[in-house]
Homo-oligomer: A and B are copies of this chain.
Amino acid sequence: MTLPRKHLFEMPEGVIYLDGNSLGPLPKGVAAAVQQAVTAEWGGELIRGWNKSGWMAQPARVGNRIAGMIGAPVGSVVMGDTLSIKVFQALSAGLAMRPERRVILSDTGNFPSDLYMAEGLVRLKDAGFELRTVPHEEVMAAIDESVAVVMLTQVGYSTGKMHDMAAVTAQAHAAGAVMLWDLAHSAGALEVDLAGSNCEFAVGCTYKYLNGGPGAPAFIYVRADLIDKVEPSLAGWLGHDAPFAFDLNYRPARSIDRMRVGTPPVLQMTALEAALSVWDGITMAEVRAASLRLSELFIREVEARCPALTLNSPREGAQRGSQVAFTYQHGYAAMQALIDRGVIGDFRAPNVMRFGFTPLFLDEADVIAAVDVMADVLDNRLWDKPEYKAAKGVT
């Protein structure tokens, strides 16, 4: 089957959705799967659902499905918690692997929550630990032998700017550091070769390109040779080797399950599992190629027809993820007006208008139609019009 496959999604009428990079739309089949989990599994099986309905094994089963999309082997990915929690787990495990080092290195374009979680971890540790951030382009030079863990988001959340996963990982390893990749804007958007990169850890969320729904669980990847060795600091009972032995002491599972913490969110996990079927028969190479075609068309059209906007993403496709950012002085107001007209992107402070190109449900005609609306909104400064202000209750 070729792209797009719009018929696999429930998309509201009159919407061009350029925000699948924040919250993916609802795939068909998800509502029925969730309903089944609520009524037949929870309602009908009650506590027996943990075994009969496969809830207990679901985090590893769904993890395997995602592993196949990010170049990871079976048994190296498990689901649970939120991306922030998984960042913390990977970071603390990484620090434990380099006990003589004290520095977490990241970049200032990283998603703030990753930096906050690192700050929180530093506060928990002895004095002397440090989160060090440098601009994107200075990361390679900043990797030195003081660094315990290099933590980067492959595709910057605001600009879409990409790091070269293989090159940065090699540099980290050359300096003796552990490498952690955040794939929030990569999984489902790009070809990712985790095993090939040789990085120790990766984490990601599933509510963006993977269309898992609001608050869908996160994933964590551990390199195969480390799975039996890493120390999960968030040592919850479902990461125990024998959770139902109720031992008083923690003994981590001898599998990727050791990165589990508490009781998994079964209803969210079911939504995600059902949502993943929209990827059947598609390769990430096809998705990436289509996404680049769409985003290049968008950049060309916007630059030709909306001259007030300034491209804030790399122009070269190979250096850009699946989203395109423009800066504009009136970006917030303009984005509100666009959304009112059915063209949904998002705004990132202070002046970034961000648009995601998710080729499972977008095509060239959508891009042209979106820019038609943008040009009209911007040419006419719709947000300044008295009738628009009146409708919004703005005085």
Task: List residues of chain A with CB under 8 Å of any chain B CB.
Answer: 10, 12, 15, 17, 19, 22-23, 25-26, 30-31, 34-35, 38-39, 41-44, 46-50, 55, 81-85, 88, 92, 96, 108, 111-113, 115-117, 119-121, 123-126, 133, 158, 205, 207, 213-218, 231-240, 244-250, 261-269, 271, 339, 344, 346, 348-349
A50 to chain B, nearest CB (A): 8
Which chain B positions have C-beta within 8 A of A49? Answer: 23, 214
A355 to chain B, nearest CB (A): 12
Would you call A116 and B267 a contact (CB within 8 A)?
Answer: no
Which chain B positions have C-beta within 8 A of A339? Answer: 48
Closest to A133 in B: B248
Closest to A211 in B: B42
Would you call B215 and A269 a contact (CB within 8 A)?
Answer: yes
Would you call B39 and A26 a contact (CB within 8 A)?
Answer: yes
Would you call B266 and A213 a contact (CB within 8 A)?
Answer: yes
Would you call A19 and B46 a contact (CB within 8 A)?
Answer: yes
Which chain B positions have C-beta within 8 A of A231? Answer: 123
A161 to chain B, nearest CB (A): 15
Would you call A214 and B115 a contact (CB within 8 A)?
Answer: no
Query: Could you list some 18 contacts between A and B, CB below 8 A?
Result: A10-B39, A19-B47, A23-B42, A23-B49, A34-B34, A47-B344, A84-B262, A85-B261, A88-B234, A92-B124, A113-B236, A115-B248, A115-B249, A120-B235, A124-B124, A126-B126, A246-B349, A265-B265
Tallying the copies of this chain within the complex gives 2
A179 vs B231: C-alpha distance when bound (angstroms) = 28
Would you call B10 and A26 a contact (CB within 8 A)?
Answer: no
A142 to chain B, nearest CB (A): 16
Would you call A43 and B26 a contact (CB within 8 A)?
Answer: yes
Would you call A213 and B246 a contact (CB within 8 A)?
Answer: no
9 tightest CB-CB pairs across the interface, nearest first?
A82-B262, A120-B235, A113-B237, A215-B265, A214-B266, A26-B43, A84-B236, A84-B262, A116-B250
Closest to A118 in B: B235
Which chain B positions have C-beta within 8 A of A239? Answer: 116
Closest to A126 in B: B126
